């Protein structure tokens, strides 16, 4: 909403306040002023001149040499390129020394001809092209013929004005009008408000004799008022009206339409003007459309209607979409002589849905859908009639053709001062409260210690006690509210065990060299299930903005791999990223997809790069496995985890493992399939996708400290020649089983698969550590258990001891 301060000053005295000061006051009271636009910004020394002579430029087809009169002794020669320049026009001239937003004007020569400045279009004055009247859109602006030459063009054009741009919240539809803003400003400044005086003479001929109005959908249209004005002369509006509209962002069209737009802005009441003759039937019937019925709207488009859309008809066919846009065929044109002014109350939801159905929003629909003031419908119609008479020379027929079933009583709220003070934590006196409400022009009485407030109907947002609390507080000033801390039983607060574990995981992974990434939950259909640990029915948006963000992900890896590609293609030597985020699987009982947090990792590049001391290592399977092992240790799950070689779509068939917790697969990790790597432009890349919900959600034993060992442990190294396909994990399991309670740990310390090995064999070496927490182990005891281990290995795994 744009508010011209010149216009506003017609209703409320704003003298004594600079625009910025006023804007700050309005903002602090609740309506945010987003911008302050000085219409005269960059304009200096513009003068009105009259074109006295015009001749073609000898060297340029499109230029004219004009002699312009400024009321001085001699005419001044100005070269003008506008197609519409003509002798006798009063025009805006920027003479040498003048300023325009485009810069300072100097005397110039155009193709050899002296030009003492330029004749200006409105755009050259900084007015937006979309609000410039169409007649002048492609050329210079022509002032009324009675404009005195030599006068200040900025003043003549009313550009000595400042416009405030309001950022309105949906509740403050009252401020979508100059009067509404005037009420607000009057309350803020505690000044009087002056409403427009409506006065005109009607003929004795009755409107009701020429027009009949019937409403068949009272629920959607409880009030319909029509006035008829004859002998209207459709023409360009007077300058003040054009200027007022342009200042608030509306393009002037002709006097009749401009009047309806002016009142829309002044009262917030959308009006529509019909050409009476084009209506043909002398009748207006408001009804719901029939399904599939069509209408050509003002913008020239054919629109198909639904049965829920409210239309204005001439009794036969639609002539307007109620509250949204008028019809093309009943539009006011240059030939119109009799005008029907419609001022109606259309119910908000109906307009909102119709406007949505048609994909058509207008200044009118924006106001109807938020709720207009029921008590301004009729005054607005009268105001329009007055201006039609004053400006368009019209004869107003007597009376208003009216259907009125609308309840116009204001909302009454009874609230106690204690209630207000206890909500605010303040001590505002009753008198102060009454005075604030009066400033807001609310009707207020006190009875039985209560404030009985009748909110004016323009304030549709005032309904309950809390609304009064807000009105009092915002006028009293939020700065006056003290700062306190809630008095309530103290609560401890904190994180759940799951949330704690998520932080532990985060700290561990970051300490291990990984950066936390954040990617989008929405992905493409194609990627939604790629590298998924588990797939179920996907969830897709009804109307995605793009295919790339259309479906909810079931794996974090596709986006994380994209991040790796982004970094690798920018020559980042090591990419180590992780993300903890939700995946969306199938559909739960409540109809929502099951959301589970997953943890994904991507690693590629130089894991260790300490060049000058010769230490180098690329990320490989075991780097990633080490990270995962450490994490599971942190989460207290190591002992319950198994790693099982597995196959996974998109993964290297020989370098992928499943992670099994208590017998259930909770994740996988390994190398991306070389084919995928090639497609993505990646070198060896390792990834993991883990069900974090299960990992962090798994209950763990309480942490109980073991005594520091008081007795020494004994280690034995063994080297075994085994089948190449036999997994170290299998051997370790045999060793652990046979080693019993005395075996404290088993570690692989060597793997050899090179030369000198029998075909299909490898050598694996382990360190076994024996320990008895109760006493010092004797050699005999160790030998006994170690022999058992060796026997088990020979028997179960066919190993050969080296």
Residue closer to another protein (CB basis): 275 or 579: 579
Task: Work out how close the CB of 441 gets to another protein at its nearest, in angstroms, rounded to a whole number.
Answer: 18
Cα 603 → chain centroid:
35
Give the per-residue contact string, 777-796, with another protein (x = CB under 8 A; - = no): --------------------
Cβ-proximal residues to 459 (8 Å cutoff; 6+ apart), any chain: 174, 442
Starting at the earlier edge strand, list the strands of the sheet with 2-4. Answer: 2-4, 162-167, 32-38
Is 706 a binder of another protein (CB under 8 A)?
Answer: no
Buried residues in 133-159 as b, exposed as e (16+ CB within 10 A) = beebeebbbbbeeebebebebbebbbb
Tokens of 665: 């697969």
Q: Which helix (H) or strand (E) holds 470?
A: helix 465-476
Residue 15's region, left for phi above 0, alpha for psi from -120 to 50, else beta, is beta
Residue closer to another protein (CB basis): 478 or 749: 478
Interacting positions 179-238 with another protein (CB under 8 A): none
Is 612 a binder of another protein (CB under 8 A)?
Answer: yes
Task: Work out how close the CB of 754 gets to another protein at its nearest, in angstroms, rounded to a whole number.
Answer: 29
- One of 494, 663, 707, 754 touching another protein (CB under 8 A): 494
- One of 124, 342, 369, 373 touching another protein (CB under 8 A): 369
- The rounded distance, in Å, linking the Cα atoms of 796 and 606 is 40
Interacting positions 331-350 with another protein (CB under 8 A): 348-349
Per rule CB under 8 A, count of chain residues that contact another protein = 95
Is 464 a binder of another protein (CB under 8 A)?
Answer: yes
DSSP 8-state class, residue 222: S
- One of 55, 235, 515, 784 touching another protein (CB under 8 A): 515
Is 798 a binder of another protein (CB under 8 A)?
Answer: no
Interacting positions 579-608 with another protein (CB under 8 A): 581-582, 584, 590-593, 595, 607
What is the maximum alpha-carbon separation in the chain?
Answer: 130
Q: How far is CA 8 from CA 13, 185, 466, 518, in A?
A: 8, 9, 30, 49
Is 32 a binder of another protein (CB under 8 A)?
Answer: yes
Task: Work out how close the CB of 622 gets to another protein at its nearest, in angstroms, rounded to a whole number.
Answer: 16
- The rounded distance, in Å, linking the Cα atoms of 70 and 81 is 20
- One of 29, 86, 450, 665 touching another protein (CB under 8 A): 29
Residue closer to another protein (CB basis): 575 or 661: 575
**β-bridge pairing 283-288 and 212-215:** parallel
Q: Which helix (H) or strand (E) holds 793?
A: helix 779-797
Is 353 a binder of another protein (CB under 8 A)?
Answer: yes
Task: Work out how close the CB of 466 gets to another protein at its nearest, in angstroms, rounded to a whole number.
Answer: 4
Interacting positions 160-179 with another protein (CB under 8 A): 169-172
- One of 409, 613, 725, 756 touching another protein (CB under 8 A): 613
Mark the segment that binds another protein (CB under 8 A) among 193-201, 374-382, 570-578, 681-689.
570-578
Task: Work out how close the CB of 3 gets to another protein at its nearest, in angstroms, rounded to a whole number.
Answer: 18
- One of 522, 585, 641, 738 touching another protein (CB under 8 A): 522
- One of 118, 188, 215, 514 touching another protein (CB under 8 A): 514
HSE-CB for 708 with a 13 A CA cutoff: 0
249: three-class secondary structure by DSSP: coil
Mark the segment that binds another protein (CB under 8 A) among 126-134, 300-308, 508-516, 738-746.
508-516
Residue closer to another protein (CB basis): 495 or 784: 495
- The burial class, CB within 10 Å (0-12 / 13-18 / 19+), for 494 is exposed
Residue closer to another protein (CB basis): 398 or 596: 596
Q: How many residues does the chain have?
A: 802
Are 211 and 376 in contact by the 8 Å Cβ rule? The answer is no
Residue closer to another protein (CB basis): 289 or 556: 556
Residue closer to another protein (CB basis): 30 or 318: 30
- The rounded distance, in Å, linking the Cα atoms of 94 and 112 is 20
Closest of 314, 319, 312 to residue 295, by C-alpha: 319
- The rounded distance, in Å, linking the Cα atoms of 625 and 671 is 11
Cα 562 → chain centroid:
26
Interacting positions 390-449 with another protein (CB under 8 A): 422-426
- One of 467, 529, 530, 738 touching another protein (CB under 8 A): 467
Mark the segment that binds another protein (CB under 8 A) among 29-37, 94-102, 665-673, 776-784.
29-37
Is 308 a binder of another protein (CB under 8 A)?
Answer: no
Buried residues in 612-624 as b, exposed as e (16+ CB within 10 A) = eeeeeebbebebb
Residue closer to another protein (CB basis): 244 or 473: 473
Give the per-residue contact string, 468-487, with another protein (x = CB under 8 A; - = no): -xx--xx---xx-xxxxxxx
Helical ranges in 547-644 per DSSP H: 557-568, 621-634
Task: Work out how close the CB of 344 gets to another protein at its nearest, in angstroms, rounded to a whole number.
Answer: 19
Task: Work out how close the CB of 272 gets to another protein at its nearest, in angstroms, rounded to a whole number.
Answer: 21
β-partners of residue 305 are none
């Amino acid at each position: 909403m744009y508010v011209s301060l010149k216009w506003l000053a017609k209703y409320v005295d704003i003298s004594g306040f600079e625009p910025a000061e006023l804007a700050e006051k309005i903002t602090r009271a609740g309506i945010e002023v987003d911008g302050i636009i000085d219409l005269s910004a960059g304009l200096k020394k513009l003068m009105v001149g009259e074109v006295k002579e015009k001749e073609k430029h000898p060297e340029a087809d499109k230029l004219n040499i004009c002699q312009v009169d400024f009321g001085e002794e001699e005419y001044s020669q100005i070269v003008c390129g506008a197609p519409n320049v003509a002798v006798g026009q009063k025009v805006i001239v920027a003479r040498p020394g003048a300023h325009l937003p485009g810069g300072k004007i100097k005397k110039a020569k155009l193709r050899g001809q002296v030009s003492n400045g330029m004749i200006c279009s409105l755009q050259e004055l900084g007015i937006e092209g979309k609000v410039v009247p169409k007649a002048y859109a492609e050329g210079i602006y022509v002032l009324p013929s009675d404009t005195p030459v030599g006068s200040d063009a900025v003043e003549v054009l009313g550009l000595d004005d400042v416009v405030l741009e309001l950022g309105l919240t949906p509740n403050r539809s009252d401020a979508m009008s100059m009067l509404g803003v005037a009420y607000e400003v009057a309350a803020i400044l505690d000044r009087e408000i002056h409403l427009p005086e409506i006065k005109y003479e009607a003929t004795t001929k009755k409107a009701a004799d020429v027009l009949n109005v019937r409403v068949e959908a009272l629920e959607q249209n409880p009030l319909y008022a029509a006035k008829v004005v004859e002998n209207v002369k459709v023409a360009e509006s007077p300058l003040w009206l054009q200027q007022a509209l342009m200042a608030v962002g509306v393009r002037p069209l002709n006097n009749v339409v401009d009047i309806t737009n002016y009142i829309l802005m002044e009262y917030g009441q959308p009006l529509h003007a019909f050409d009476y003759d084009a209506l043909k039937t002398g009748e207006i019937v408001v009804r719901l459309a029939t399904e599939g019925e069509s209408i050509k709207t003002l913008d020239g488009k054919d629109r198909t209607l639904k049965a829920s859309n409210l239309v204005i008809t001439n009794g036969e066919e639609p002539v307007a979409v109620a509250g949204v846009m008028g019809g093309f065929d009943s539009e006011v044109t240059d030939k119109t002589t009799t005008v029907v002014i419609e001022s109606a109350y259309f119910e908000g939801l109906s307009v909102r849905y119709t406007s949505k159905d048609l994909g058509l929003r207008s200044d009118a629909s924006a106001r109807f859908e938020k709720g207009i003031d029921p008590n301004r419908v009729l005054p607005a119609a009268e105001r329009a009639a007055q201006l039609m008479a004053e400006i368009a020379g019209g004869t107003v027929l007597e009376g208003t053709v009216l259907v009125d079933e609308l309840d116009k009583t204001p909302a009454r709220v009874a609230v106690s001062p204690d209630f207000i003070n206890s909500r605010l934590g303040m001590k505002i006196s009753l008198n102060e409260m009454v005075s604030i409400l009066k400033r807001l022009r609310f009707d207020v009485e006190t009875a039985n210690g209560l404030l009985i407030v009748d909110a004016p109907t323009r304030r549709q947002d005032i309904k309950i006690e809390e609304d009064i609390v807000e009105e009092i507080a915002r006028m009293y000033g939020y700065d006056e509210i003290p700062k306190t801390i809630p008095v309530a039983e103290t609560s401890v607060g904190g994180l759940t065990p799951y949330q704690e574990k998520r932080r532990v995981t985060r700290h561990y992974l970051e300490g291990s060299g990984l950066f936390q990434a954040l990617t989008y939950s929405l992905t493409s259909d194609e990627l939604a299930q790629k590298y998924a640990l588990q797939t179920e029915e996907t969830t897709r948006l009804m109307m995605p903005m793009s295919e790339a963000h259309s479906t909810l992900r079931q794996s974090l890896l596709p986006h994380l791999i994209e991040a790796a590609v982004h970094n690798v293609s920018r020559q980042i030597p090591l990419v180590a990223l992780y993300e903890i985020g939700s995946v969306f699987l199938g559909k739960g009982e409540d109809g929502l997809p099951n959301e589970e947090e997953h943890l994904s990792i991507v690693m590629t590049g130089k894991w260790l790069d300490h060049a000058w001391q010769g230490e180098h290592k690329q990320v490989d399977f075991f780097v990633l496995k080490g990270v995962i092992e450490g994490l599971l240790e942190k989460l207290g799950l190591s002992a319950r985890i198994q790693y099982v070689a597995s196959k996974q779509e998109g993964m290297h068939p020989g370098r992928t493992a499943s992670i099994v917790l208590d017998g259930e697969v909770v994740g996988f990790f390994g190398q991306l399939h070389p084919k995928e790597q090639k497609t993505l432009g990646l070198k060896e890349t390792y990834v993991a996708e883990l069900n974090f919900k299960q990992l962090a959600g798994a209950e763990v034993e309480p942490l109980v400290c073991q005594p520091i060992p008081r007795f020494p442990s004994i280690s034995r190294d063994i080297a075994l020649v085994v089948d190449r396909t036999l997994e170290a994990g299998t051997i370790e399991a045999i060793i652990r089983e046979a080693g019993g309670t005395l075996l404290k740990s088993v570690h692989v310390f060597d793997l050899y698969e090179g030369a000198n090995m029998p075909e299909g064999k490898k050598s694996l070496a382990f360190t076994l550590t024996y320990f008895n927490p109760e006493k010092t182990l004797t050699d005999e005891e160790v030998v006994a258990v170690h022999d058992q281990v060796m026997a088990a290995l020979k028997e179960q795994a066919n190993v050969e001891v080296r």
